[in-house]
Structure 1
């Protein structure tokens, strides 16, 4: 698997996951008058990340913050969804986590899974799993979670979600790490959490902002997690120069 991730093949022919009544996820409860604690530091993105209202997970009793970027049904563009929780998460496989999150308010189902692996991020190790999600359209995405990883800082956020690349290709593992680079605090945090985030920022993955000239190739290969305004401006300027140079 690219990016040095240790990978193994899950059951690629497993049937779609449909939660039964015994394990159905109850909608989390809105938190009244609670400002968002996290945001994506992605000023060049064409689609601004949407911050969802904070919620209380009824199973764990812990607060959860949600972020999304793009649209799942816009298969020509990337789509990101991430849920950030507080405190220890109940033990659950990444497949079950993705299936429950997809069904809970998303109306999506997991058709099959593929390669799994482990990547390093500024928050520490993160498990990844290729998953084909079906809803208005069908997309090959990569789910991720750090909930079950040992050795994490007690102040590290527990998160899970998925990233879908365009062109029906799974995103590169490196794109997941670079996406998580952008997860930052939104000003609603304790002094201890802010101190922890300063440590995380010192561990940011390098090389996550590709050279502008290399961006079209990386986008075509599905290696990037977002399309930036800077890339579009560069491509438009290059096209104008080419036209002007013709006899």
Structure 2
């Protein structure tokens, strides 16, 4: 899958510098992180679980480290994610969920929290690469980063663009549980002097299921004053995780 998905470069490729060590590459990755207070725009989301495909355009609002808010036209579907909880409702099915991050963790097959979801959307590593020791393997197109010590329970790998140091791909897997999460950053867009993801493809697999999520970001604006209206309608049935 990794080899078959070609990632469009955000800038012209000047080549990989095989003299850069992993510490410098990781430092440059965090220097390339978005500096913002708020982000707003629209997202086209195409979801396919192998049995059903759904496409939805939603409004997106993010207040850094505090709130991720999504709303479909006419408020038919709304979601609110904060560091404390995940909540959403669907007026078409008269149901809602209001709880912890287990719902999204089960959907993508890896343990998630607010920071990981925000990083996933903004082109940053889901894991904090500064908290462990990594090795760098220069390839023809990327800096490939992986942990210095192999972990049989939890395997990670990251591919960084050699010019922007933004993520091109990231992989998290749990071989014993037969879980795999692949995230491809197919293209970035320039906003001011910063790079924001434009297209993201997500593949989540386990022993019996495979889920594909394609995201396109449109009309992105930064640092506008935002509000986050959200209230679960009365009479809706709660979704309870099994």
Same fold (TM over 0.5): no
**Greater fraction of residues in helix:** 1
TM-score normalised according to structure 1 size: 0.30
**Greater fraction of residues in strand:** 2
Q: With a CA cutoff of 8 Å and minimum separation of 6, indicate the structure with the bigger relative contact order.
A: 2
